[in-house]
Structure 1
């Protein structure tokens, strides 16, 4: 079981769910992925910590505005959240929530890139982020669907210092990966397929031993299926949502490892 002590600079570091029903969603993810969870105290506004094989894997909080949809939030690592926020402004992004201290465990901010995608910023202190990756029941991949592809890539390079690698450059498939510590850690896809008016958005993938079996578990526990399981050049994938409507992707870990 690989344990990651700390995310590379600018890489995905943490995931949390903004939910209208934290109690139900805690049980849902525990039932589907076998996660355990702990509800923190009032000082952390009863934030839920999900753990996988005893290690921090994701979080859950009650969403601050009931008019907002339930959604998973993705955070990128920052060595200095305040400096990152300043870079966001300079690069044409929008600061939704400025840098703030979270009870000494880290500093966080929330921003929007120039193409409309929301993303969190986490400067780790005591809380180092997601500790397990690339395992069944753990985050496996992170991907931005960008309506303004070139502008989006330039933004993340400028603000988060990404090193990148182009893996597709045609009208049919345009894709750039973030490379950190010699590893592929995130991707940006040219999202020409998004309907007019739909902004860029981030997605994350959870690894599965069996995508089809996990889809059935999601149905059984009240979730829904946005994309039925299918074989792709990147393995067997499915798009799903929890009972609150928050979407995420599933991927077969064996397919990735065999590539």
Structure 2
């Protein structure tokens, strides 16, 4: 389970970059009730999405030449520079950083061996998001990749992550947890890319009270429902969406919440 008791290797932050950032703020505000607050004049336009006064994510405007709108998931590290070096040695790349972020922490943006972008956050004054695994907050993360075995080896070397297989009707799902933390600390999974040549990426999942209602509202707000609400036995009711700018994300009404 994803919590704010952050340990090394677990997600502790996420943010969105979009050329039309005002539109992104409007969409997620309407969908989840988030409110955007600037981090101040020294932050270069960066700020925080808050829900009931608690930070659930970050974001800022991104120039179109920097790439399409997307969510970036960050993983906790005690040493961002060492994690970046390990990623390069494991055939990943460093896209940005590591840099100090106004004393709040050190960050870097990397890609894995297949090209999926992800971030590293070494906590300073900011440990991570204020809330997880609650309605409107991050609750799961899923890597879509062409080679699960190669991805598992990469993230084990760079972040110490461990994987295990969980049987579901029709196949096996590869779950991910921090080193030595065991199944109770699972925070995400890895799935094969839907089609050959698909770009690999990390997909954030947000907890919701009603998957069907959120999917319908996302469509009404100008987003696209990529996978309609679907019940997964023992897991919950899931839908995958794309916001009006093109950033992908998923929502879930978890079985544990119904329990």
TM-score (norm 2): 0.90
Q: CA RMSD in A?
A: 2.3
C-alpha contact 2:146 2:196 (8 A) present in aligned 1: no
C-alpha contact 2:107 2:121 (8 A) present in aligned 1: yes
CA displacement, residues 25-50 of structure 1 (integer Å, 9 cap, x when unaligned):
11221121111220233311111201
Long gaps (5+) in structure 2: none
C-alpha contact 1:146 1:188 (8 A) present in aligned 2: no
In the alignment, the residues of structure 2 paired with residue 132 and residue 256 of structure 1 have an alpha-carbon distance, to the nearest angstrom, of: 17
CA displacement, residues 126-146 of structure 1 (integer Å, 9 cap, x when unaligned):
122112111111111111122
CA displacement, residues 86-112 of structure 1 (integer Å, 9 cap, x when unaligned):
111121211111311111111111111
In the alignment, the residues of structure 2 paired with residue 222 and residue 104 of structure 1 have an alpha-carbon distance, to the nearest angstrom, of: 37
Are residues 47 and 9 of structure 1, via their aligned partners in 2, closer, same or farther at CA, if it must alter by over 3 Å? same
Using the TM superposition, give the Cα deviation of residue 79 of structure 1 relative to its aligned residue in structure 2, in angstroms: 0.5
In the alignment, the residues of structure 1 paired with residue 116 and residue 3 of structure 2 have an alpha-carbon distance, to the nearest angstrom, of: 29
In the alignment, the residues of structure 1 paired with residue 19 and residue 55 of structure 2 have an alpha-carbon distance, to the nearest angstrom, of: 22
- Partner of 1:173: helix, strand, or coil? strand
In the alignment, the residues of structure 2 paired with residue 235 and residue 122 of structure 1 have an alpha-carbon distance, to the nearest angstrom, of: 29
Partner of 2:208: 208
Partner of 1:86: 85
Partner of 2:95: 96
Are residues 74 and 220 of structure 1, via their aligned partners in 2, closer, same or farther at CA, if it must alter by over 3 Å? same
In the alignment, the residues of structure 2 paired with residue 202 and residue 67 of structure 1 have an alpha-carbon distance, to the nearest angstrom, of: 18
Partner of 2:245: 244
C-alpha contact 1:208 1:250 (8 A) present in aligned 2: yes
Question: Which runs of structure 2 are paired with 1:111-190 in the superposition (5 Å)?
Answer: 111-168=110-167, 172-179=171-178, 181-182=181-182, 183-190=184-191
Are residues 23 and 133 of structure 1, via their aligned partners in 2, closer, same or farther at CA, if it must alter by over 3 Å? same
Question: Which runs of structure 2 are paired with 1:8-23 in the superposition (5 Å)?
Answer: 8-23=7-22
In the alignment, the residues of structure 2 paired with residue 230 and residue 190 of structure 1 have an alpha-carbon distance, to the nearest angstrom, of: 17
- Partner of 1:238: helix, strand, or coil? strand
Long gaps (5+) in structure 1: none
